[in-house]
């Protein structure tokens, strides 16, 4: 089975917020299960996870390449990984 592939160009993921009772993934984006993502330009800023992982970017068992991307001000209120 082939992994999912995505190319993001000048994408803005800003001020998203996820809520849940536990283990909520990625306020900005969640990349898992062998996916291959390339992001050029854009930003991942000010995203929040209420209770889980990866305020800005959650990366688990996948590949992410970034060029000229700003990552700033992301947070996890209860859990792990604010970036």
pLDDT digits (tens, 9 = 90+) for 7-54: 999 999 999 988 877 777 778 998 999 999 999 999 999 999 888 888
Contacts of 81 (CB under 8 A, 6+ apart): 53, 54, 55, 58
pLDDT digits (tens, 9 = 90+) for 43-83: 999 999 888 888 899 888 999 999 999 999 999 888 777 66
pLDDT computed for residue 79 by the predictor: 77
pLDDT computed for residue 3 by the predictor: 77
pLDDT computed for residue 21 by the predictor: 72
DSSP code string of 14-47: ES-EE--SS-EE-SSEEEETT-EEEEEEEEEES-
pLDDT computed for residue 83 by the predictor: 63
pTM of the model: 0.84
> What H or E segment, with its residue span, contains residue 75?
strand 75-76
């Amino acid at each position: 089975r082939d992994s999912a592939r995505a190319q993001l160009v000048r994408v803005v993921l800003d001020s998203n917020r996820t809520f849940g009772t536990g283990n909520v993934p990625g306020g900005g984006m969640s990349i898992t299960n062998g996916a291959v993502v390339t992001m050029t330009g854009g930003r991942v800023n000010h995203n929040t996870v209420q209770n889980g992982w990866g305020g800005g970017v959650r990366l688990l068992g996948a590949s992410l390449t970034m060029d000229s991307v700003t990552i700033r001000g992301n947070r996890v209120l209860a859990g792990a990984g604010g970036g």
